[in-house]
């Protein structure tokens, strides 16, 4: 049986590499999410989509630990009140978080042709055999690196190098970021790829 949040099924709850990954597909109307988070104010957000993402993230955190609170630094990176590390991502109706004792970055992206159209902005020239799945995953990994870094100022071509790889449903890739090696782990979630990056 899948895990649930307030009787609503989680799409994924995964423990690996000392990390916890939670993925939820938000199918509930905004009013339902507000009723579940009556102590959380989202009135500062303009769009219903942003409000749903904001509330869904906090519901996921509450599922992991009811005492967890999230705040954001000046550069927009998330922080937890228990000194663990957290990273958050949204794509369409999907929201995901990862919680770890180490610095971490996560991203989730729906597989689409858009990544192929924009490939010159983020894909290195050694990747020659590309399709929308592979280009989406490379974009996903590089976004996860950006979130891992937290302080911006990242050139997706010059600073992040993803080696050539054989695409699978899930896998692990050593990547280069500013002359350091990071571990990236990825897996498919429906019609999306999720990737997270750590040391």
Indicate if 112 and 159 belong to the same structural domain.
yes
d(CA 148, CA 86): 10
- Over residues 34-88, the pLDDT tens digits come to 888 878 888 888 899 999 999 999 999 988 998 898 988 888 889 999 989 999 9
* Distances in whole angstroms, Cα of residue 33 to Cα of each of 113, 133, 180: 32, 32, 41
User: Is there a single domain that holds both residue 87 and residue 126?
Assistant: no
Q: Which range marks the domain in which residue 30 is found? A: 4-101
pLDDT tens figures, 110-145: 999 999 999 999 999 999 889 999 999 999 999 999
Q: Indicate whether 166 and 77 sit together in one domain.
A: no
Same domain flag for 118 and 133: yes
- Note whether 95 and 16 are same-domain residues: yes
In the predicted model, what is the mean pLDDT of residues 153-164? Answer: 96
* Claim to verify: residue 124 and residue 69 sit in the same structural domain: no
120 in the same domain as 95 = no
């Amino acid at each position: 049986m899948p895990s649930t949040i307030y009787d609503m099924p989680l799409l994924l709850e995964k423990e690996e590499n000392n990390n916890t990954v939670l993925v939820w597909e938000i199918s509930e109307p905004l009013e339902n999410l507000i009723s579940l988070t009556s102590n959380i104010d989202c009135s500062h957000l303009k769009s219903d989509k942003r409000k749903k993402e904001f509330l869904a993230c906090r519901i996921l955190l509450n599922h992991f630990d009811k005492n967890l609170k999230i705040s954001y630094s000046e550069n927009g990176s998330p922080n937890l009140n228990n000194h663990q590390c957290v990273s958050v991502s949204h794509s369409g109706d999907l929201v995901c978080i990862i919680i770890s004792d180490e610095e971490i970055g996560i991203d989730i992206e729906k597989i689409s042709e858009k990544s192929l159209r924009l490939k010159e902005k983020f894909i290195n020239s050694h990747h020659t055999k590309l399709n929308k799945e592979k280009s989406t995953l490379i974009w996903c990994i590089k976004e996860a690196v950006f979130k891992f870094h937290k302080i911006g100022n990242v050139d997706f071509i010059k600073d992040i190098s993803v080696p050539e790889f054989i695409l699978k449903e899930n896998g692990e890739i050593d990547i280069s970021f500013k002359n350091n090696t990071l571990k990236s782990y990825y897996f498919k979630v429906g019609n999306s790829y999720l990737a997270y990056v750590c040391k």
